[in-house]
Structure 1
Amino acid sequence: MNALKAMRQYQTVDTDAQALGATPHRLIQMLMEGGLTRIAQARGAIERGWTAEKGELIGKAVGIVGGLRNGLDFEKGGELALNLDRLYDYMIAKLTEANVHNDLTRLDEVATLLREIKSGWDAIAP
């Protein structure tokens, strides 16, 4: 478990360093990448029966999706921002259910949705 802890610390330092020079567009990409990573890690924790780690990782994924939701600009984004707000709310609910029920299907559903949003975000130029 010490190797896992060291890897997480390295990832945090690396992510912090990347964030310092990142554009707002890149920061959103990084959040989405982080969310997908946490969901994948939570999936592994469920498969291994690591309850505490699963809860921590899903909690981080919920926080990331919440951050994406809080960053929406409803004045500039209009209907798209409203639809994303609803989708992020749905994703948070599904992550919570996945945590309570150890449900890989719900985790996979949220990962698929987040990948779709990210592919659209990646396609627009900063």
Structure 2
Amino acid sequence: MFGSLKNGANAYAQVGMETGVVAASPHHLIVMLFDGAIIALQTAKRQMQEANIPAKGKSISKAIAIIDGGLRASLDKNAGGEIADNLDSLYEYMSKQLLMANLKNDPAILEEVTKLLADLKGAWCAIDDQAETFEEPAVPVTRNAYDPLAPNISTLVKA
């Protein structure tokens, strides 16, 4: 009749993640993609050790989707020049390695790609830290006509 407690917790976590995505800067969204791919690979490694082949395949596929559909797709090769081209090649390499890891059931390949992602994430976070040091003070955000997260003042009860 009612959803299980686990389903409720998962729904709550999903709302938290979606709220984080909406509120995140473009730079932080990339960090979230790195985190998602790393978590998927850590999960895949555990599933590989448990011989849970279907789940391992799903986790590796999720990591590949994040790398190709998120990180690689977000590259601006016109603005990024050689760096974007090099990252594109690295992301392509990672995806191919993950396919091989899945086929060969090789946790060492998962570890290699996880380390590459962690190194890139670290560099990406360092860039953000430097950018924050040199940024101008933020301009106050103006409210849109409709903000679903803002309280509706007209419906508040006065004490």
Q: After the TM superposition, which residues 6-45 of structure 1 pair with which residues of structure 2 at under 5 Å, given as runs?
A: 10-45=12-47
Instruction: Give 1:12 deviation, angstroms.
Output: 3.3
The total of aligned residue pairs comes to 125
Is 1:89 aligned to 2:92, yes or no? yes
Query: 5+ unaligned residues in a row in structure 1: which ranges?
Result: none
Query: 5+ unaligned residues in a row in structure 2: which ranges?
Result: 132-159
Q: Compare CA radii of gyration and give the structure with the larger one.
A: 2
- CA, structure 1 residues 57+7, in 2 after alignment: closer, same or farther (shift >3 Å)? farther
Q: Deviations over 1:85-124 (max 9, x none)?
A: 0000000000111111111010000001001111110001
Structure 2 CA distance, aligned partners of 1:21 and 1:34? Answer: 17
Q: Tell me the equivalent position of 1:118.
A: 121
Which has the larger share of helix?
Answer: 1
What TM-score does the superposition give when structure 2 sets the normalisation length?
0.73
**Greater RCO, CA 8 A, separation 6+:** 1
Structure 1 residue ranges (4+ consecutive) displaced by more than 4 angstroms after TM superposition? 2-11
Instruction: Give 1:50 deviation, angstroms.
Output: 0.7
- CA, structure 1 residues 58+71, in 2 after alignment: closer, same or farther (shift >3 Å)? same
**Which of 79, 82, 91 is equivalent to 2:82?**
79
- CA, structure 1 residues 55+8, in 2 after alignment: closer, same or farther (shift >3 Å)? farther
Structure 2 CA distance, aligned partners of 1:94 and 1:112? Answer: 13
Instruction: Give 1:13 deviation, angstroms.
Output: 3.2
RMSD: 2.0
What TM-score does the superposition give when structure 1 sets the normalisation length?
0.91
